[in-house]
Structure 1
Amino acid sequence: MAKLTLHQLSKDFGTGRPAVDAVSMEIRDGGFLALLGPSGCGKTTVLRMVAGFETPTDGSILLGERVMSDAARVVPPERRNMAMVFQSYALWPHMTVAENVGYPLKVRGVTGERYRAKVLEALRSVRLEAYGDRRPAALSGGQRQRVALARCLVTSPDVVLLDEPLANLDRHLRGEMEDAFREFHARSGATMIYVTHDQAEAMALATDVAVMADGKLLQMAAPDELYARPEGRRVGELVGRGAVLSVRAAAGAARHFDWQAVQLALTRLDNAPSVDLLVRPQDVHIGDGGLPAVVESVVFEGERYTMGLRLGDGQCLRVHWRERLQVGAVVPVIIAGGWRL
Structure 2
Amino acid sequence: MAKLILNRVAKDFGTGRAAVSNLSIDVREGGFLALLGPSGCGKTTVLRMIAGFETPTDGSLHLGERLLADASQSLPPERRNMAMVFQSYALWPHMSVADNVGYPLKVRGVSGEAYRRKVGEALATVRLEAYAERRPADLSGGQRQRVALARCLVTSPDVVLLDEPLANLDRHLKQEMEETFREFHQRSGATMVYVTHDQSEAMALATDVAVMSEGQLLQVAPPDEIYARPEGRVVGGLIGRGAIVSLRSPDGDVRQLDWAAVEPLFSGEGGSASRADVLVRQEDVVLGGEGIAATVESVLYEGERYAARLRLADGQILRAFSRSKLAVGDDVRAMIRGAWRL
TM-score range, shorter chain: over 0.9
Q: Give the conservation status (yes or no) of the 8 Å contact 1:251–1:273.
A: no
TM-score, structure 1 length as denominator?
0.97
Matched with 1:25 is: 25
Check if 1:161 corresponds to 2:161: yes
Q: Give the conservation status (yes or no) of the 8 Å contact 1:250–1:273.
A: no
Give aligned pairs, total.
Answer: 341
SS of 2:71's equivalent in the other structure is coil
Give the AA of the match of 1:160: V
Matched with 2:265 is: 265
Q: How does 1:35-114 map to 2 (within 5 A)?
A: 35-114=35-114
The Cα RMSD (Å) is 1.2
Matched with 1:224 is: 224
In structure 2, runs of 5+ residues without a counterpart are: none
For each residue in 1:265-319, what CA deviation from the matched residue of structure 2 results, as whole angstroms up to 9, or x when unmatched? 1121897000011100011011121111111111111111111111111111110
Q: Give the conservation status (yes or no) of the 8 Å contact 2:141–2:169.
A: yes
For each residue in 1:202-227, what CA deviation from the matched residue of structure 2 results, as whole angstroms up to 9, or x when unmatched? 11111111011111000000111111
Give the AA of the match of 2:302: E
SS of 2:286's equivalent in the other structure is strand
* TM-superposed deviation, 1:77: 0.3
Q: Distance in 1 between matches of 2:81 and 2:253?
A: 50
Matched with 1:143 is: 143
Q: Distance in 1 between matches of 2:114 and 2:140?
A: 29
For each residue in 1:71-124, what CA deviation from the matched residue of structure 2 results, as whole angstroms up to 9, or x when unmatched? 232000000000000011111112111111011001101111211111111111
In structure 1, runs of 5+ residues without a counterpart are: none
* Ranges of 4+ aligned residues in structure 1 off by more than 2 Å: 249-253
Matched with 2:200 is: 200
Matched with 1:306 is: 307
Matched with 2:295 is: 294
Q: Give the conservation status (yes or no) of the 8 Å contact 2:6–2:24.
A: yes
Q: Distance in 1 between matches of 2:201 and 2:6?
A: 23
Q: Distance in 1 between matches of 2:13 and 2:113?
A: 46
TM-score, structure 2 length as denominator?
0.97
SS of 1:46's equivalent in the other structure is helix
Q: Give the conservation status (yes or no) of the 8 Å contact 2:311–2:318.
A: yes
Check if 1:284 corresponds to 2:285: yes
Higher mean alpha-carbon deviation, 252-261 vs 63-72, is at 252-261
Q: Give the conservation status (yes or no) of the 8 Å contact 2:233–2:277.
A: yes
Percent of paired sites with the same residue:
70
* TM-superposed deviation, 1:251: 4.6
